[in-house]
Structure 1
């Protein structure tokens, strides 16, 4: 019973995250079960000390960001952002004590991929939306990039499916999930995700591609090239217009047209870099950063309209500006430690371990890449999905069940 309950929570982490406003359902489920189970099994915590490295890192991240927020009088705002990371220990303990079959995870991500694709088609074809987006606070950029993440998770899951019973059924289902996630990314118009996609495909190739023969590789490359050409050429997708618009803005900015119309991200990056140079250790906080950006605009150093931006459109710069040096180091630690923990699994002979390790590396590479042009960690849903998916992957990776 408990394994089915934890399996349902793992499934919901992928299936419900993007298309339902209750995307925190997975954490509510695990929290409700995890707290009493943790108290009941408190004496067994030490048995799982090594897997608790990741929750400790998440807790240190939360502490650093809470400290930075408190320094600038923004404790409550920081707490609303990082509270999910504080729950990783009880959630992980539930997964370790009652490990569900990893099939729950793959079923969840493929369901989420298909759901995001269907939702995007509905928004574009029926509701006539310009760009598809997700439920709640998931704007088009967050929605598109997280949909792309579900798609590459499904592709990584093929390595697990090929070694699993009923492999043909799982392969078809995971391919459907990958197609749905990719479609949602395209219809959302998220250019940052498309720029990061080659790095994600590079990870998949590095782990799995070397096992393909020449014929299989040629077929894959030809198929991917054809799909890419269709996506760009069809005007209904909006990709052609988004790419052309981005190139035009970049050209005009490089020609000297300094303004948010043609280089909003570059302008906010410039402003953030100036603020970091002025106060590199303590940062400015959210309110302080806005005031200082207004000052830089009034002095003519940047476009004054930059101060209207909610964040720096770059996770590293945004963390440094708001949280200071300790905050950005904590964020980098949240990226680096999972890579170290999952690294050995990339060459594991067990298909389950290798697929989960690949997913974790894709999550880190994708989140870091997406965060170069947009501040995902500015949003509670960004922190929640990143740390929540890490927790699920790590729990399944450390468990013995297949």
Structure 2
């Protein structure tokens, strides 16, 4: 309808911008933020269905290979549900991740101001720091995690920090760089406060990204900000009050005990015990895996046979994203999961190689590649896709950044 609120361009842009702001802003400070925003993106996308479909078709050659793994993920899990008698709830995550494409279509159709997302990221990181800071200082919680578990909270907080770092590339006025800089610091400190160690691996991969694509940091202020952020993380190791040094030494000690044949009753020991079990299960069902119900039963049988420590039955998954995919879906499931990582990575990596791209394009592409590499790093010691929030945050942010990048590229080409 021509008189529809969303079909009037200013309102369409404003509503989309508000949703883009609320998504990262509410992601960690509310229990419903990510899920609510995913539904709102979907509903808003219905009102611009014609324009959204037209935009998707226009950009389809560059979008199809990114959307395809999300579609295959849904179809594969649906097939497993039908053939393996899984609970219907198993289909929820893949279908909602696929429907996150609605955010991409909405952004392409409405062409909102990308700064709304940046401000949402900055605000979300600041809110995350206030929340876990309160829990750590006033409630004396050793591993604060806001309204989530400490690991998922810390990983998403670190993702917000990396996105804020990318936003420094998109700042024209020198004085304004302080806001994304503060967002980056807030997200980093919030992640450190949770005590999660898996985030450090994501940060290490992010450092490699900056080494490989350092040319996108055209401003010396951006370079200083990036170096300072990583220096801050390194410095926390030498400050006993942060607990980082203790966590590092604890991890090394727990791994040593397990390799020496000792108890697996520790965070690292339990993970290593689970990974040993995963290797056996992958060998037994390499092509299509065995599904969640079957692998839990297999774990119980291995414990009963004395092959595994009973501690493995206290955790719901294998604490490694790729092993989880291989055990539950075999080589096929792993290929689909890898596609959801690799396809966005290639999309954003190709964008970063564009020599004549604008600062806005560089910032959005850098944000995308940092998000993907961060999630790959998190997945080395955690199954962040296990939770709805972790899954939807990734899918929505990937598609939002893709849409904003394509808008910026289109605007840049039209400006010439």
TM-score, normalised by the number of residues in structure 1: 0.91
Given the alignment of the two structures, is residue 34 of structure 1 paired with residue 39 of structure 2, yes or no?
A: no
Please list the CA deviations of residues 280-313 of structure 1 after superposition, one character each: whole Å capped at 9, or x if unmatched. 1222211111110111111222212212320010
2:289 and 2:221 map into 1 onto residues whose CA distance is 54
Does the 8 Å CA contact 2:42/2:100 hold for their aligned counterparts? no
Hey, what does 1:12 align to over in structure 2? 22
Q: 1:370 pairs with 375, 378, 384, which one?
A: 378
How has the CA–CA distance of structure 1 residues 291 and 344 changed in structure 2, closer, same or farther, with 3 Å as cutoff? same
Given the alignment of the two structures, is residue 388 of structure 1 paired with residue 393 of structure 2, yes or no?
A: no
Q: 1:295 pairs with 301, 315, 326, which one?
A: 301
Does the 8 Å CA contact 1:100/1:401 hold for their aligned counterparts? no
- Which aligned runs of 4 or more in structure 1 are off by greater than 4 angstroms? 39-45, 209-224
How has the CA–CA distance of structure 1 residues 326 and 71 changed in structure 2, closer, same or farther, with 3 Å as cutoff? farther
After TM superposition, the structure 1 = structure 2 runs for residues 63-212 of structure 1, keeping only pairs within 5 Å, are 63-135=75-147, 138-161=148-171, 164=172, 166-169=173-176, 171-208=177-214
Hey, what does 1:3 align to over in structure 2? 13
Does the 8 Å CA contact 2:55/2:109 hold for their aligned counterparts? no
After TM superposition, the structure 1 = structure 2 runs for residues 255-294 of structure 1, keeping only pairs within 5 Å, are 255-261=260-266, 263-294=269-300
* SS of aligned partner of 1:233: coil
* SS of aligned partner of 1:257: coil
Single out whichever of 84-93 and 381-390 deviates more from structure 2: 84-93
* SS of aligned partner of 1:133: coil
How has the CA–CA distance of structure 1 residues 145 and 44 changed in structure 2, closer, same or farther, with 3 Å as cutoff? closer
1:52 Cα offset (Å): 4.2
2:15 and 2:360 map into 1 onto residues whose CA distance is 21
Single out whichever of 263-272 and 17-26 deviates more from structure 2: 17-26
After TM superposition, the structure 1 = structure 2 runs for residues 304-319 of structure 1, keeping only pairs within 5 Å, are 304-319=310-325
Single out whichever of 364-373 and 8-17 deviates more from structure 2: 8-17
1:282 and 1:229 map into 2 onto residues whose CA distance is 41
Single out whichever of 327-336 and 255-264 deviates more from structure 2: 255-264
Where do 5+ consecutive residues of structure 2 fail to align?
1-10
Q: 1:341 pairs with 347, 351, 363, which one?
A: 347
1:383 and 1:7 map into 2 onto residues whose CA distance is 22
How has the CA–CA distance of structure 1 residues 41 and 393 changed in structure 2, closer, same or farther, with 3 Å as cutoff? closer
How has the CA–CA distance of structure 1 residues 38 and 257 changed in structure 2, closer, same or farther, with 3 Å as cutoff? same
1:384 Cα offset (Å): 0.6
1:213 and 1:144 map into 2 onto residues whose CA distance is 29
Given the alignment of the two structures, is residue 250 of structure 1 paired with residue 258 of structure 2, yes or no?
A: no
Please list the CA deviations of residues 315-370 of structure 1 after superposition, one character each: whole Å capped at 9, or x if unmatched. 11111212233211110111111122222211333111111111111111111111
Hey, what does 2:58 align to over in structure 1? 47
* SS of aligned partner of 1:127: coil
1:238 Cα offset (Å): 2.1
TM-score, normalised by the number of residues in structure 2: 0.88
Q: Over aligned residues, Cα RMSD in angstroms?
A: 2.5
Does the 8 Å CA contact 1:131/1:187 hold for their aligned counterparts? yes
2:278 and 2:155 map into 1 onto residues whose CA distance is 23
Hey, what does 2:365 align to over in structure 1? 357
Please list the CA deviations of residues 175-199 of structure 1 after superposition, one character each: whole Å capped at 9, or x if unmatched. 1100110111110001111133122
1:268 and 1:55 map into 2 onto residues whose CA distance is 32
1:109 Cα offset (Å): 1.0
Does the 8 Å CA contact 2:344/2:368 hold for their aligned counterparts? yes
Where do 5+ consecutive residues of structure 1 fail to align?
none
